[in-house]
Amino acid sequence: MAKYKLEFKKTASKELNSLPSKEIKKILKSIDQLIDNPRPSNSKKLSASESYRIRVGDYRILYEIKEQILIIYIIKVAHRKDVYRA
């Protein structure tokens, strides 16, 4: 299987950098694993969109998979209480 590339939405990158460093390490490890397997067993497809979600402790990573161009686009990284707010 081909490896995917990662792209971060500008706001997702800012959200990630604002988190505690201990949490950033865990989240980046989970994001790196998406390169080989964009749909891990702990991922969930969101019903109202083409996005997926993975949980990392109390934090959520929302992302989209662009199959044709092999890109995983990280949309949002936030605490579970804030992640689904617009």
Task: Give residue-wise pLDDT tens across range 16-34.
Answer: 999 999 999 999 999 999 9
Q: Which domains does the chain have, with CATH numbers?
A: 5-65 (3.30.2310.20)
**More reliable by pLDDT, 33 or 86:** 33
Segment 1-14 shows an average pLDDT of: 92
SS3 47: coil
- What percentage of the chain carries pLDDT values higher than 70? 98
The set of residues, in sequence order, having a beta carbon less than 8 Å from that of 60 and lying 6+ positions away, is 53, 54, 76, 77, 78, 79, 80, 83
Average pLDDT over residues 44-50: 90
